[in-house]
Amino acid sequence: MSLKKIPCDECRERKRRCTYDKPCQRCIKFDIPCIYTVKNSPADEEYLQQIKLLEQVDQLHGELDSLQQEMVTLQPATATANPNLLSPITEDVTSPYSTLSSLDSTSHSFSLTTTESSPLPAYSSPSSTDTQIIKRQKTNNGLEAILYQNTTQNRQQANSNWTLTVSKGNLIIRTDIKTHTELLDYLCKSVSTMEMNDVVPYSINDLGSNRRDALSRVLQVFVWKRYGKSRFKSITYGFFDKRHKHNHEYNNSCNLDHNMISINDYALIQNESISSITLKLLHAYLNCRHLHHLAVHVPTFLEFLVRPDIMESPAVLALCAVSCTASCRHVEDVLPTKQDVPLYGEFYFDQARQLAMDRFDEPCLEIFATYVLMAFYKLILHQLDESRRYGDMAERMSVILGEQQQQQQRKTDDDKNNMTMEGNGYLKANSANDLSAGKTVLFRRLEVQLFKVLSVTHLVRHKRQASGHHQPPDRRILNLFHGATELLTPAPGDSEEEKRHIHLIGYIEQLNKECHNTAHQAPSEDTVNYVGIVGHMVEMAMRRWYMAMPESFRLNIPIFDAFNTNSSSGNDEWLTAMENAPDVIPLLTTMAAYNEYMMMVKAHICKTPDDLEIRESLAAYWKENDGHIDHDFVRARWGEKWLVRLGKLDDLLDKKLTANYYENKANGISDDDDNDDTDGMTHVGDSHAGAVEDGGGGGKGDPGLLNYRKKYDKIIITALLESGYAGFDDPAAQTSVKVALNAIQLLQYLRQRYPCHYEQRVALNAWDILLRATRFGFGDLEMKTTIQANLLCCLLMIREEFEKIPFHGILVNYADNMEQEYDKQFNFM
């Protein structure tokens, strides 16, 4: 019986007779790839699975042999210490008679260190009367482990476990282990963690099960909300100034007035060969600033939206208006003079608007692209009402275009399946499919850009507390300042540079997710150092993320250890790494990591020492009064601002505890097993009692909810005030200073080598970190001098970049305020 012949993929898909050659005659005729795909049978799959299992069994045997050899090595020492003890090899795998332990430390520091220090004090080590040291071993890397053997009452405890503690410097990893398999696994992970400075296995974060009690939940939500608020401020910087708190339209006076643009000005532009300038401007944008936005698919945009008379293409004119808002040297080289950049931007916008007026309700890709780019242009000019108006029009049109795209895609697929494959029919079908795919990619990228514009508009309106503002139906907007954005994917026709920038966006999204997952796994038992724990875990996540990227996407230096004030060798290494970068992508990746870390630290590092002292005083006041707040006393002593902050903490606690209580109740979880240190404590405030009794959390007078609140209010509010913020004695704050210094060096290099990729937000965050460090008196004399010099450099850099922006008049004058802060801090006034 002959084996059944399998046709090639193309013949099988088209249901045509195949000659079974390699390649077959039909594929040769139509000049298409001939691919044979052989699917495994169930028997083959079972055989492959058996091979994998056998390999795993061999691996386990090897690990058991290694463990047995180690136990044989330890056996003579055991016999010498106590001849009456049984051999560990003959004991059961869950034997309680042996305990691995080591020297531990009571220090709460979580920073990795390789410096040799004095011997650490013992931490819960077995007493000398109950144990004898069997073997002590210390490696060259500083790892130390000691094997103890129980000799008295612990032998009768049937539930005793192995205890493995690995120490290096001040970092201790301790685990409870029940079997030899777990012992070997945890030992390997612990040793690898100690010996790798830049990469920490993710499973180390999950060695212990975090208590999911109310304290843990509220602390995690609070820390992440502060993290998001820091990102929110970074996104919306420049849109609002406290000096104009009640004048939401203050920026209109800074915008370019239509009445100031005379007919003579437009005539001057027309006389400057505007068509030629427009083509050059379009080319300059697509080769530079386009990489920042990736708002269009370039081949499809040029093919479908650029008309023979370019001045009749509304989408092109709107894109040129956007290009005139950027501080880009390529755009400045195209225009006659730098002073005319705002004038050209307004001219292109007016021309695009007039062309779109006659077709404002035509649901086509060209008008949709025009609306999106016009909304983007108005957003950059901070004219939020007009930006939202054009954005809303584009959003309504996107619904219709989305349905049209789906119908067109189904029609194309049907035509492709039904079309005769003789002659050029197959090639025509592929050509039509490519055109449809290009339009789909262009539409999707314009949709992503529209979402970004509407998101920033919503955030700024929320910041201003504008009338009629409401929560958006799109949840993605609420998650924007946690990095949850729409991801782009490379498409046919994208250049290699575009593909690398698209991959960069994906890596940054992955970084945001890593930080999000890590911040939600911090344990709440050590509330005093909670922010430090979160900062350390985020730092380790960033190190792991950075080292996991391809080498062409990162610099060949440790991400947080580049800056060195004590020697020039570290700075030379830093400069060499930047010079060896293949393009700007590794620099942008490093800058994104620095900016992410600085935003995280800014959320929980107090601005001044007085701010930290006030929080500690409020926490002490809260404890002394069992949560009863005298509003008049708080307002008189600490001010209205702190009374409002206490109210926000109160509201957060009320919502989260109520949700946590009913979630536990629905899951049948009782809170009686938790450590209740607040039995008999009175209720924490009249405002809480009223909220609960009136049903303000979803439960009208629920006695269980009332008791639940009594149990946790005092603990959580105190923890939020004490551990929700920190000073510069925190390890994360100390690392942030190094990150800020690295960021300033990186920005200086970008200004010289890749000036169009300079990022002002990173400079502002670095300025904020270093200024806070100066207020806290961080560092020795040399470090203080370095910080002052970098602050001055950062100030000059920010001022120069603000002056380069064509519409710099619409920005709040940050540079003047920053200069005043600098002079005040260093007593130059």
- List pLDDT tens digits, range 297-314: 999 999 999 998 889 999
Lowest mean pLDDT among 104-108, 189-193, 519-523: 104-108
Contacts of 694 (CB under 8 A, 6+ apart): 700
Instruction: Tell me what pLDDT residue 537 has.
Output: 82
Reference 111, options 779, 780, 732; nearest CA is 732
Rounded Cα distance, 301 and 297, in Å: 6
Distance between CA 140 and CA 142 in Å, rounded? 5
The owner of tokens 């080292």 is 547
Least confident of 120-124, 225-229, 820-824: 120-124
Inter-residue contact 758 to 789 (CB < 8 Å): no
The CA–CA distances, whole Å, from 754 to 409, 668, 758, 807 equal 41, 59, 7, 21
- Looking at residue 366, its pLDDT comes to 93
Distance (Å, whole) CA 425 – CA 393: 40
**What is the C-alpha to C-alpha distance for residues 16 and 24, in angstroms, rounded to an integer?**
11
Predicted local confidence at residue 689, as pLDDT: 33
3-state helix, strand, coil in the chain (%, to 5): 65, 5, 35
pLDDT at 130 (0 to 100): 45
CA distance 111 to 101: 22
CA pair distance 310, 278, nearest whole angstrom: 8
According to DSSP, the β-strands at 131-138 and 98-101 are: unpaired
- pLDDT value for 240: 44
| Residues in CB range of 609: below 8 A, 6 or more apart | 727, 775, 776
Q: What is the pLDDT of residue 411?
A: 74
Do residues 702 and 669 lie in contact, with contact meaning Cβ atoms separated by under 8 Å?
no
pLDDT at site 428:
52
- Reduced to 3 states, what is the DSSP secondary structure of residue 175? strand
Both structure tokens of 548: 């996991």
Least confident residue range of 27-41, 130-144, 720-734, 780-794: 130-144
pLDDT at position 792 is: 92
Task: Pick the more confident residue, 706 or 171.
Answer: 171
Distance CA 290, CA 323 (A): 9
Check residue 743 and give its pLDDT: 92
pLDDT score of 622: 73
Residue 504: is its pLDDT beyond 50? yes
Count CA atoms within 13 Å of residue 449 on its CB side. 30
| Residue 587 pLDDT grade (very low, low, confident, very high; cuts 50, 70, 90) | very high
Q: Which of 51-55, 259-263, 368-372, 491-495 has the lowest mean pLDDT?
A: 259-263
Q: How high is the pLDDT of residue 341?
A: 81
Provide mean pLDDT across the span 727-751: 88
SS3 label, residue 133: strand
> In 22-44, which positions are buried (b, 16+ CB within 10 angstroms) versus exposed (e)?
ebbebbeeeebebeeeeeeeeee
pLDDT band at 377 (very low <50, low <70, confident <90, very high): very high
Digit-coded pLDDT (tens) for 335-356: 877 667 888 889 999 999 999 9
Q: Please give the radius of gyration of the chain, using alpha carbons only, rounded to the nearest integer.
A: 33
Query: Could you tell me which residue, 803 or 520, shows the higher pLDDT?
Result: 803
pLDDT digits (tens, 9 = 90+) for 172-191: 666 666 666 666 666 666 66
The string of pLDDT tens digits covering residues 423-465 is 445 445 555 566 678 888 999 999 989 988 888 887 777 666 6
- Residue 160: pLDDT over 70: no
Q: What is the SS3 string spanning 105-130?
A: CCCCCCCCCCCCCCCCCCCCCCCCCC
Task: Tell me: pLDDT of 54 over 80.
Answer: yes
3-state secondary structure 559-574: CCCCCCCCCHHHHHHH
As a whole number, mean pLDDT of residues 146-150 equals 47
Phi and psi angles of residue 246, each rounded to the nearest 5 degrees, phi first: -105, 5
Rounded distance between C-alpha atoms, residue 229 and residue 221, angstroms: 12
The pLDDT, as a whole number, for residue 557 is: 82
The pLDDT tens digits for 528-580 are 566 677 778 888 888 889 988 999 999 888 887 755 555 555 567 778 888 88
Q: What pLDDT sits at residue 657?
A: 58
Q: Tens digit of pLDDT for each residue in 592-651? A: 999 888 888 887 788 888 888 887 787 777 777 766 677 788 888 888 877 887 777 666
- Average pLDDT of the residues in 708-715: 52
**Does 161 score more than 80 pLDDT?**
no
Average pLDDT in the 489-493 region? 87
**Secondary structure of residue 168 in the 3-state scheme:** strand
Q: Average pLDDT of the chain?
A: 70
Q: Could you please report the per-residue DSSP string of 618-651?
A: HHHHHHHTTT---HHHHHHHH-HHHHHHHHHHHH
| Lowest mean pLDDT segment, chosen from 269-273, 479-483, 759-763 | 479-483
- The single-letter DSSP state of residue 152 is S
Listed range (483-492, 696-705, 783-792) with the worst mean pLDDT? 696-705
**pLDDT higher than 70, residue 655:** no
> Is the full-model pTM beyond 0.75?
no
Of 52-61, 187-196, 710-719, 751-760, give the range with the top mean pLDDT. Answer: 751-760
How many CA atoms lie less than 13 Å away from 212 in the CB half-sphere?
Answer: 8
Lowest-pLDDT range of 204-208, 263-267, 517-521: 204-208
Q: Is the pLDDT of residue 475 over 90?
A: no
pLDDT band at 418 (very low <50, low <70, confident <90, very high): low
Question: What pLDDT is attached to residue 108?
Answer: 34
Structure-token match 């080319």, residue found? 283
Half-sphere exposure of 615 (CA within 13 A, CB side): 22
Q: How confident is the model over 582-590, as a mean pLDDT? A: 92
How high is the pLDDT of residue 238? Answer: 52
User: In sequence order, what are the beta bridge partners of 101?
Assistant: 146
CA distances from 683 to 217, 634, 821, 824 (A): 21, 19, 44, 45
pLDDT reading at 212 higher than 90: no
Band (pLDDT 50/70/90 cuts) for residue 103 is very low
Share above pLDDT 90 across residues of the chain, in percent, rounded to a whole number: 15
What number of other Cβ atoms are within 10 A of residue 15's Cβ? Answer: 7
Query: Alpha-carbon distance 189 to 168, whole Å?
Result: 14
Structure tokens at 324: 């005139």
Mean pLDDT of 644-668: 62
Tokens of 392: 């809303």
- Which phi and psi (to 5°) does residue 144 adopt? -135, 135
Percent of the chain topping pLDDT 70: 55
Considering 99-113, 246-260, 558-572, the range whose residues carry the highest mean pLDDT is 558-572
Phi, psi of 685 (to 5 degrees): 170, 150
